[in-house]
Amino acid sequence: MTTALRAPDLVAAALERVVGSAHVHPLELEGGTRVVPLACPAGAEEAQACVQHALEHGLTLLPVGMLSKLGWARAPARLDFAMSLRRLRRVLSYEPGDGTIRVEAGISMAELAHTVNEGGHWLTPDVPCPGGATIGGVIGAGASGFDRLRFGPLRHHVLGLRVVDGHGELTKSGGQLVKNVTGYDLHRLYTGSHGTLCAIVEASLRLFARPEHWVALSYGPLPEPRALTAARTLLALPIRPYALLVRDLGDGSAELCMNLGGREEAVQHERALVIAALGTPARSSEDAHALAQARAWRDEGQAEGRWPDLVLDCLPSRVECEVSELRRKLAETRVDARLTILPGLARIECRSANGRVPSSISSAAPAGLDLMRRLKSALDPRAVFAGGRVHADP
Amino acid sequence: MDRRVVDALRAIVGPRGLIEPGTRALPYESDGLAIYAQRPELVLLPADTAETAACMKILHDAGVPIVPRGAGTGLAGGATPVAGGVIVGTARMRRVLELDVENRRARVEAGLVNVDLTHACKSHGLYYAPDPSSQQACTLGGNVANNSGGPHCFKHGNTSQHVLGLLIVQHDGTLLDLTAPRLDPLGYDLVGLFVGSEGMFGIATELVVRLVPEAPVVETFLGIFATLEAACDSVSDIIAARLEPSALEILDRLTIEAVEASVFAAGYPREAEAVLLVEVEGSEPEVAGCARAVRAILEQRGALSVHSARDAAARKKLWAGRKGAFGAMGRVAPDLYVADAVVPRTKLRELVLRTVEIARAHKLRLATVFHAGDGNLHPNICYDRRDKDELARVLAAGDEMLELCVQAGGALTGEHGVGLEKQQQMHYLFSDADLRQMCRARDAWDPARRLNPGKLIPVRVCEEMRAGSVPEGA
Ligand SMILES: Cc1cc2nc3c(=O)[nH]c(=O)nc-3n(C[C@H](O)[C@H](O)[C@H](O)COP(=O)(O)OP(=O)(O)OC[C@H]3O[C@@H](n4cnc5c(N)ncnc54)[C@H](O)[C@@H]3O)c2cc1C
């Protein structure tokens, strides 16, 4: 393959023959320093044709949704075009009586949530800016929502996927069933693979009961260590919050926020337990206000879904130590950063305001890198999907 | 087998850890699916990860096929030896290495028996949620390999939702340590992919698992029904009403009769056509709300009676029949073919009845006991394997049932795995292209395909790939 044939306008012209000229646009990446064609196929077969075109011509592509999570992984080392699945928007099968749904990958999280809410269900993950994110993109990024404390990570609820694989074939794993161990769980591998292994065209998901009632409570401003101690007290209670976070208010103070949901009596019971343990909250809201409040806390803390500069996971018992250690390092290196602490998940997210967090406190290479490389080359031997996203390699 | 290899292995595991063909090796000739049996060349029982790794290195260099084995309770032939192969069992690796009560997790060896973990943490108000009916015998390593379920996985999820990390001995004896405490995988989800890989990706020697706090209130219901249909409909109604009990299990008439005639007798009325067990757990108001709704559904569906209990001893009694069901079925016939399929939960009634018809058409006796809440059917066929004609009918009926479930939107297995048993039926669900993709993933873990060969993926598909008759990129 010569460089000339990989020139963006030639690639764009070829893609136009596959998906139609109205569905190929220029896409600016990395602040406009790189422009590649973005092809938007109409369905799974057209998506497959795009991948096959790339295979035939030695091109590299990146599957995307609405691009909201592009910055959640490294920029691809090499890229000839991007392929957005956003035109694949159909609900293929929703059986409210079964509590599962199968959809095309490009449906927006907002539309998907709306559909299942109508059927009395709740869709996890509850992500920021749901109108601007597709389910395929969310799965590709392995993004769990603010409701993770209650339901666990997204990867537990992806029941099956249909993808265009690195050999240009439409293949599936799993199915639309809440329990199923037939074959390897390749969908677990694809979830969080950031488009490096396949293009997701369909997903089946497990649904939960939509909460009848919501309560949001917050305590603070408190000194950060006290907010963390209070969080620890809460986590020992027999309650199952949707979310629990310690928001950084700056100046060493923090706010402990939580969101409870479920059947009304159960929620009021949990609320009473919280108040008995921590006293009257500084702020409290119910129902739709409570859900909106919880989402606002999340969105503000997560800078509208911006991927943190640093994510620290630790054992729950270590959260307080890790926070103080991180604070010390940030002070030493004079990095102005905001922390979002999720004590129930034992995760600390750090977003800096004046530059990146120094690499001395960033995370190390993953275990199993060799195996990841072998998986990448077995499943995508011609590197048709842009690599280098999840780590320097695969 | 080459004596030098055997001697080198003996030097690692010692005399206790090595069983040569003979009477002591007999129990290793099959797993719980006794219709497939094969003599192993050797059985190795290493004492820890280091011994396992050293053995795997020698077997790798000698090019010997390996079948990992836990307790051998699998029901799909997953741990059945392969010709010319060695069994590497975890029976001597049974320690709880770390019980971290504060962080609600445990690090254990893979050969630990499932229920022993709950025994180890019970005094701290914690338990290990996945509870296969074989939990008194099966190992956690076997549970990981099969992504096993159990009655309470309806609420808590199968094994994969409880495994936080794994230490894996890879095909060549190298270690893959995936036990660092991380909320999300750094890179690809290797743990998620390994769970359910049926012993074909490596040997898990240590596991880090999640422990769950005991619920403040638990209430168990036993609904007695005059028809199996009404019990199934009750389950579909409970799911459709989006109630979230922790377990939903059904036993049919033949199972009830067997249970009541056995030491597991639970006082189920023998004239009942089906019993439905429902367990609800949570806070007092959560349980009260859910219990009210469950009882109303059972009554609406015509339950002859509904019993309930909160006290631990009384609840245990209600569960006794379910827990002892498989043991009790030994009274009905010498052998039991435990079929395992999943169906959409809106189609429970229809498909359960169709399996009954299929068994009847093949003149077979069916005892159904199943994880109804998950749509996981276990039409158990009682038979005598010495009767060749009956055995042939059992296999034909099992196959028809699977095909039926797949056609209705279901799958081949909900928890037992594919193993040897369902390998040929993988085509009901997957295309050749799907299976090739699985084969590629396997090749990344085990390039020589020496780990549990001949299981899960139809051999033809992998062979064609190797022979190059399917071009890469096709
Ligand atoms: C009466 C009865 C009731 C049952 N009820 C249930 C149930 O409710 N739910 C359910 O899911 N299953 C059930 N089973 C099936 C069986 O108990 C499970 O599949 C169990 O997980 C097998 O565990 P094991 O230790 O016996 O594994 P084995 O049978 O020894 O092996 C099972 C598979 O795992 C592999 N393997 C074993 N250990 C390892 C390891 N350390 N690393 C890698 N691979 C390994 C083997 O190669 C094999 O493929 C039941 C079985 C019986 C006999």
Its ipTM equals: 0.95
pLDDT tier for residue A284 given thresholds of 50, 70 and 90: very high
Nearest to B56 by CA among B446, B420, B463, B442: B446
Residue B333 — pLDDT band, cuts 50, 70, 90? confident
Confidence at residue B473, expressed as pLDDT on a 0 to 100 scale: 40
What total of structural domains would you count in chain B? 4
Please check whether residue B35 lies inside any domain of the structure: yes
**Does residue A163 have a pLDDT over 70?**
yes
- Looking at the complex, does the CB of residue A118 fall below 8 Å from at least one CB of chain B? no
- Specify whether B36 is located in the same domain as B55: yes
Interface probe for A, chosen from B184, B342, B445 (most Cβ of A below 10 Å), is B184
User: Residue A86: which residues within 8 A CB-CB, separation 6 or more?
Assistant: A40, A65, A66, A106, A134
Per-residue pLDDT averaged across B391-398, rounded? 95
Contact A305, A67 (CB under 8 A): no
Q: Which residues contact B292 (CB under 8 A, 6 or more apart)?
A: none
Q: Is residue B271 part of a domain?
A: yes
pLDDT of residue B284: 95
Which ligand 1 atom minimizes the distance to the CA of B131?
A: 8
Q: DSSP string covering B76-140, please?
A: SSTT---TT-EEEE-TT---EEEEETTTTEEEEETTSBHHHHHHHHGGGTEE-----TTTTT-BH
Mean pLDDT of B210-229: 96
**B146 C-alpha vs ligand 1 centroid, how far in Å?**
6
Which tens digit of pLDDT belongs to each residue from B46-94?
999 999 999 999 999 999 999 999 999 999 999 999 999 999 999 999 9
Residues B356 and B394 placed together within one structural domain of the fold: yes
CATH number at residue B138: 3.30.465.10
Query: DSSP 3-state assignment of B256?
Result: helix
- Residue A354 has what pLDDT? 64
DSSP one-letter code for A357: P
| Confidence band, pLDDT 50/70/90 cuts, at residue B100 | very high
A1 pLDDT exceeds 50? no
Q: Do B158 and B285 belong together in one domain?
A: no
pLDDT attached to residue A355: 59
Top mutation candidate among B56, B90, B133 for ligand 1, by most atoms within 8 Å of CB:
B133
Q: Taking a C-beta distance cutoff of 8 angstroms, is the pair B163, B195 a contact?
A: yes
Domain span including residue B66:
3-89
Q: How many CB pairs below 8 Å do chains A and B form together?
A: 247
The Å distance, Cα A228 to ligand 1 centre, comes to 41
A210 touching chain B per CB within 8 A = yes
* B444 lies in some domain: yes
The answer, yes or no, to whether the previous bond of A238 is cis (omega within 30 of 0) is no
Whole-number average pLDDT of chain B: 94
As a whole number of angstroms, the distance between CA A349 and CA B412 comes to 42
* Domain identity same for B131 and B271: no
| B89, B124, B144 - which closes a domain | B89
Cβ atoms of B70 and B141 closer than 8 Å? yes
Q: Is residue B168 part of a domain?
A: yes
**B255 and B146 co-located in one domain:** no
Question: Tell me, what's the pLDDT at A360?
Answer: 52
Give the closest of B186, B440, B473 to A382, CB-based: B473
Site to probe by mutation for ligand 1, drawn from B28, B51, B75, B82 as the one with most ligand atoms within 8 Å of Cβ, is B75
Answer whether residue B225 is part of any domain: yes
pTM: 0.96
Question: In chain B, pLDDT over 90 holds for what percent of residues?
Answer: 88
- Ligand 1, pocket residues at CB < 6 Å: B 31-32, 67-75, 78-79, 90, 110, 132-134, 138-139, 141-143, 145-146, 148-150, 198-199, 203-204, 326, 415-416, 452
Of all protein residues, the one whose alpha carbon is nearest to atom 21 of ligand 1 is: B143
SS3 state at A39: strand
Asked whether residue A75 carries a pLDDT value surpassing 90, the answer given is no
CB contact under 8 A, A238 and B242: no
Joined tokens for residue A75: 């920029």
The arithmetic mean of pLDDT across residues A42-49, rounded, is 98
- pLDDT of residue B274 exceeding 90: yes
B402 and B355 inside one domain: yes
User: Which residues, 6 or more positions from A256, have their beta carbon under 8 angstroms from its beta carbon?
Assistant: A218, A219, A220, A222, A227, A230, A231, A234, A244, A245, A246, A247, A278
Distance from the B320 Cα atom to the nearest Cα atom in chain A, whole angstroms: 24
Q: Are residues B111 and B204 in the same domain?
A: yes
Sorted by where each begins, the domain ranges of chain A are: 91-210, 213-361
Q: What's residue A356's pLDDT?
A: 64
Confirm if B115 and B139 have CB atoms less than 8 A apart. Answer: no
Residue A29 phi/psi, 5-degree rounding, is -120, 160
Q: Mean pLDDT across the stretch B170-183?
A: 95
For A262, nearest residue in chain B (alpha carbons): B286
Mean pLDDT is lowest, of A249-263, B441-455, B458-472, for B458-472
Mean pLDDT, residues A159-164: 98
Beta strands A253-262; A81-84: pairing state? unpaired
Q: What is the mean pLDDT of residues A75-82?
A: 88
Q: Where does a domain end: B213, B236, B257?
A: B213
Q: Per-residue pLDDT for B422 more than 60?
A: yes
- The tens digit of pLDDT for each residue in A360-372 reads 555 567 899 999 9
Note the pLDDT of residue B428: 96
pLDDT for position A363: 57
Instruction: Tell me how close the Cα of B105 comes to any Cα of chain A, in angstroms.
Output: 10
pLDDT at A77: 79
Question: If you average pLDDT over residues B217-243, what whole number do you get?
Answer: 96
Average pLDDT over residues A14-29: 94
Q: What pLDDT score does A146 carry?
A: 84
Rounded mean pLDDT, B155-181: 97
* Among candidates A153, A183, A382 on the partner chain, residue whose Cβ is nearest the Cβ of B184: A153
For residues B255 and B294, membership in a common domain is answered with yes
Task: Output DSSP code: residue B268.
Answer: -
pLDDT for A353: 74
Q: pLDDT-based confidence at B332, cuts 50/70/90?
A: confident
Residue of A nearest to B376 (CA): A179
CA angle, A282 then A284 then A289, to 5°: 140
| Per-residue pLDDT at A191 | 97
Pick the CATH number of A213-361 from 3.40.50, 3.40.30, 3.30.70, 3.10.129: 3.30.70
Q: CB–CB of B190 and A142 under 8 A?
A: no
Indicate the pLDDT class of residue B324, thresholds 50, 70 and 90. confident
Which residues in chain A are contacts of B415 at CB distance < 8 A? 179, 181
Q: What is the CATH number of the domain that holds B78?
A: 3.30.43.10
Same domain membership, residue B395 and residue B437: no
- Reading the block at residue A184, the tokens are 């390897």
For residues B103-113, average pLDDT: 97
Looking at the fold, whether B142 and B223 belong to one and the same domain comes out as no
Surface-to-core class of residue B260, CB atoms within 10 Å of its CB (0-12 exposed, 13-18 middle, 19+ buried): middle
pLDDT computed for residue A274 by the predictor: 98
- C-alpha–C-alpha distance, residues A171 and B434, integer Å: 5
Least Cα distance to B200 among B472, B474, B448, B18 occurs for B448
Taking contacts as CB-CB distances below 8 angstroms, the residues of chain A near B342 are 177, 179-180
DSSP string covering A174-224, please?
E-S-SS--SS--HHHHHTTSTTSSEEEEEEEEE-EEPPSEEEEEEEEEEEH
Q: How confident is the model at residue B266 (pLDDT cuts 50, 70, 90)?
A: confident
| For residues B365-387, average pLDDT | 93
Tell whether A137 is within 8 A of chain B (Cβ): no
> Does residue B386 share a domain with residue B271?
yes
What's chain A's Rg over C-alpha atoms?
Answer: 22
Alpha carbon distance B267, B260 (integer Å): 7
Least confident of A302-316, B12-26, B165-179, B216-230: A302-316
Helix/strand number for chain B, H first, E second: 16, 20
B207 and B301 share one domain: no
Q: Among partner residues A180, A186, A317, which is closest to B437 by beta-carbon distance?
A: A186
The Cα–Cα gap between B7 and B11 comes to 6
Dist. CA B236–CA B242, nearest whole Å: 10
Question: Which atom of ligand 1 lies nearest, measured to the CA of B141?
Answer: 41
Q: How many other C-beta atoms can be found within 10 angstroms of the C-beta atom of residue A95?
A: 19
| pLDDT the model gives residue B474 | 37
pLDDT at A325: 93
Query: CB within 8 A of B175, min separation 6: which ones?
Result: B49, B53, B167, B168, B169
Q: List pLDDT tens digits, range A132-153.
A: 999 999 999 998 888 999 999 9
Tokens of A2: 């010569």
Let me know: does A217 contact A256? Beta carbons within 8 Å. Answer: no
pLDDT greater than 70 at residue A11? yes
CB count within 10 Å of CB A351 equals 18
- Cα–ligand 1 centroid distance for B283 (angstroms): 33
* Interval between CA B137 and ligand 1 midpoint (Å): 9
**One fold for A91-210 and A213-361:** no
Of B65, B89, B113, the position where a domain reaches its end is B89
For chain A, what is the mean pLDDT? 91
Q: Any idea what DSSP says for residue B371?
A: B
Pick A91-210's CATH classification: 3.40.50.300, 3.30.465.10, 1.10.3720.10, 3.10.129.10.
Answer: 3.30.465.10
Handedness of CA A378, A383, A388, A389 (dihedral sign): negative
- The crossing angle, in degrees rounded to 10, of helices B388-407 and B348-361 is 160
What are the backbone angles phi and psi of residue B284, rounded to the nearest 5°?
A: -55, -50
Q: Which of B343, B371, B426 lies at the smallest CB-CB distance from A183?
A: B426
Chain A contact set for B429 (CB, 8 A): 175, 182-183
Whole-number pLDDT of residue B218: 97
> How far is the first Cα of chain A from the last one, in angstroms, to the nearest whole number?
22
